[in-house]
Structures are given as structure tokens and as C-alpha cells.
Amino acid sequence: MAGTFKIFLKANERFFINGAVFRVDRKVSIELLNDVDFLLESHVLQAEDATTPLRQLYFIVQVMVISPKDRDTVTPHFRESLPTLLNTFDNQKVLSGLKHVDQMVGEERYYEALKTIRGLYDIEAEILAQRAEPVSVKQPVYEQLRNAS
């Protein structure tokens, strides 16, 4: 995130900044004046919903935002997942997006990385819908992360 960024929140909505959880008690707008890692509650992916390759990647990056103390544990999972995804997809928009995600994570611009991944969900859904057999995930990413810590 470069420069200022304004977020609009509803009453009782939560958001995460640099690993801290905040809740607002009324409708409010907040202007972030410097670079921080943040995530809106509406963008949080529950572990059990990380059921596709891109959603698993999203979950890994999300953990980097929500739990900065675990970044050293989670980063190797990101570094293992990304090359696999780059070798799996042949859609140019997805490949370009994944390369952008890699750059954003390398620059610790996690919000932009998450936004890019979310933007690829529809393309991934189209690709998966065309497959004859469902995509199987060996071990859910949240279990991998839990076992690594």
C-alpha cells in the first residue's frame, strides 16, 4: 500500500492492522496515513473455505497479515506453493497475476497480493468447472500450517 488509504467500516465490523484486531462500534471511515498491513473482516477467508489452489495461496498470505509473528513459518509454504501454481496454470491472466503476487509478497505488500489473488478467483472457477475430475488437495493448507508451528 503506497500513500494514504481510506477504509469504510460498518458498525461492529472488525479489521486487522499489523496483526492487531480492531472492532468499530459505529459506521466509520478510517484513513491510513502510512504503510501498514491490514485486512478487512469481509476479506478474511476461513480455513475450511481454502478449498482451491488459489484460495489456499490466499489463506497463506492472509496468515502473514493476521499473524505477523508467524511469517517466518508461513513464508516457506508460500515459496513452495507458488512454483507449483505457476506450473499448474496455463491461463496467462492467472500466471501474470501470480507473478505479481510473488512480487507483492516479496515487497511485503500483502494487501495488494491478496487483492490480486481475489481477482483471480473467477478465472480459477471457470478453469476448475471445465475439468473432468475435481481438484484434490492433498492436505488442507491450514493443517499444513498448524503442523509446521
Q: Where are the domains of the chain?
A: 5-42, 45-148
Cell numbers 460498518 correspond to 10
Q: What pLDDT does 55 receive?
A: 95
Amino acid identity for residue 125 in this structure: A
What percentage of the chain reaches a pLDDT higher than 90?
Answer: 64
Q: Which residues contact 51 (CB under 8 A, 6 or more apart)?
A: 137, 140
Mean pLDDT of the chain: 87
Taking each helix axis as running N to C, give the angle between helix 53-66 and helix 110-130, from 0 to 180 degrees, rounded to the nearest 10.
160
Q: Please report, for residues 55, 97, 99, 126, 140, the alpha-carbon distance to residue 46 in angstroms, rounded to integers and kept in the order given.
A: 10, 22, 24, 22, 12
Q: What is the pLDDT of residues 54-80, one digit of tens each?
A: 999 999 999 999 998 999 999 999 999
Closest CA to 5 of 26, 35, 40: 35
HEC string of 95-116 equals: HHHHHHHHHHHHCCCHHHHHHH
Overall average pLDDT of the 96-125 stretch: 96
- Cell numbers of 16, please? 486487522
Q: pTM of this prediction? A: 0.82
